[in-house]
Amino acid sequence: MSIHHPEIVVTSRIPPFLTTGLQEKYVVHERDHIRDRQVFGRVRALVGGGESKIDASYMALFPALEMISVCGVGYDGIDVAAAKKRGIMVSHTPEVLNDDVADLALGLLLAVARKIPAADRFTRNADWLDGPFPLTRKLTGAKLGIVGMGRIGQAIAKRAAAFDMDISYNTRHQRSDVPYKYVPNVTALAAAVDFLVVITPGGAATRNLINAEVLKALGPQGFLVNVARGSVVDQVALIEALQKKTIAGAGLDVYVDEPNVPAELRKLDNVVLTPHVASGTVETRKAMSALALANLDAHMSGQPIITPVPECRP
Ligand code: NDP
């Protein structure tokens, strides 16, 4: 690779498709393997997954930094305000993962309501020989509350509509372009529904949005599904609610301190847990990689970035 290719640093695990694409056009360094101090002065871009943690002090290591390309739609780990102050552009990969995340949200709803993983274990263990599996909860026709009605929230609602679910939602601003009932208060939304799905961004503005009060409102017959970020749900309050059965169950793809999942949570049988895989299909990771690379290429060739984060839009 010629030294005239722009130099970049990969800051977290990225899909193999993106690694291959980057290696064709860039001199690629890995965050924890930069031995030559002079590299820091030459790096023009950082590339990482949605879980990348890039704060002002890390950016300060790179005096020539121009861009951060995130391979993911969530960018709560990036200090965008600090980037903007230095004129560093930040891009992400919206839209291309909507279907997968919505599919997994519906999968978790079905899995936790119909106890699919427990039924699988029951069948494998031949517990069936001792009697039938306990009855479960019907999803079709139930009341669904969606916290966050953006790109992915709408994709979830579209699928839930096919299950004849009665859909309402909470956001900070009511939308005029969706047919679902708006509930301005998240606790009131939780109180009104059977299933609550969380799909907001992470970060300080949504930290513990789903707190003990919201869980209490959801109630002993209510189920929670979180495909947003672990930080959006008060994990301690959630574990307590699940242990005391003050909510019926939860389907979780995201956690506060990934990849650490508290033992108390792993022990519970009223949860279905997945390891932050909502966008994790070959098709979607390829599409995300292509968009993350296209954003980087656009910037390096002097073109406008295709999908800058909202804060960096002109
Ligand atoms: P959008 O920006 O399109 O939508 C975000 C929605 O959240 C908006 O409707 C927004 O409405 C709402 N929202 C923001 N803050 C609040 C709040 N405090 N209370 C209630 N609603 C709020 O984002 P996407 O739909 O594309 O993605 C959403 C998030 O999903 C990502 O940021 C990411 O964290 C997560 N995600 C998780 C994945 C996984 O692997 N599990 C994969 C992909 C995404 P308003 O501004 O009016 O409040």
- Give me the residue spans of the domains in the chain: 7-96+283-312, 98-273
- 258 is known as an active-site residue: yes
- C-alpha of residue 149 to centroid of ligand 1, in Å: 7
DSSP annotation of 68: E
Distance CA 40, CA 138 (A): 56
| Residue 251 beta carbon below 6 angstroms from any ligand 1 atom | no
Q: Which CATH superfamily is domain 7-96+283-312 in?
A: NAD(P)-binding Rossmann-like Domain (3.40.50.720)
Q: How confident is the model at residue 4 (pLDDT cuts 50, 70, 90)?
A: confident
In this prediction, residues 29-37 reach a mean pLDDT of 94
Residue nearest to atom 23 of ligand 1 (CA): 150
From residue 234, how far is each of 130, 223, 252 by CA, in Å? 39, 15, 13
Given a cut of 90, is residue 3 above it in pLDDT?
no
Distance CA 114, CA 116 (A): 5
From residue 81, how far is each of 48, 277, 311 by CA, in Å? 18, 28, 8
Given a cut of 70, is residue 2 above it in pLDDT?
no
Q: What sign does the dihedral 30-282-106-248 (CA atoms) show?
A: negative
Q: How confident is the model at residue 51 (pLDDT cuts 50, 70, 90)?
A: confident
- 229 is known as an active-site residue: yes
- Mutating to test ligand 1, I would choose from 180, 200, 232, 313 the residue with most ligand atoms within 8 A of its C-beta, which is 200
What six digits make up the tokens of 147?
């916290």
Distance CA 254, CA 270 (A): 16
At residue 104, the pLDDT reads 99
> Are the folds of 7-96+283-312 and 98-273 the same?
yes
Given a cut of 70, is residue 1 above it in pLDDT?
no
Q: Which CATH superfamily is domain 98-273 in?
A: NAD(P)-binding Rossmann-like Domain (3.40.50.720)
Distance CA 70, CA 92 (A): 5
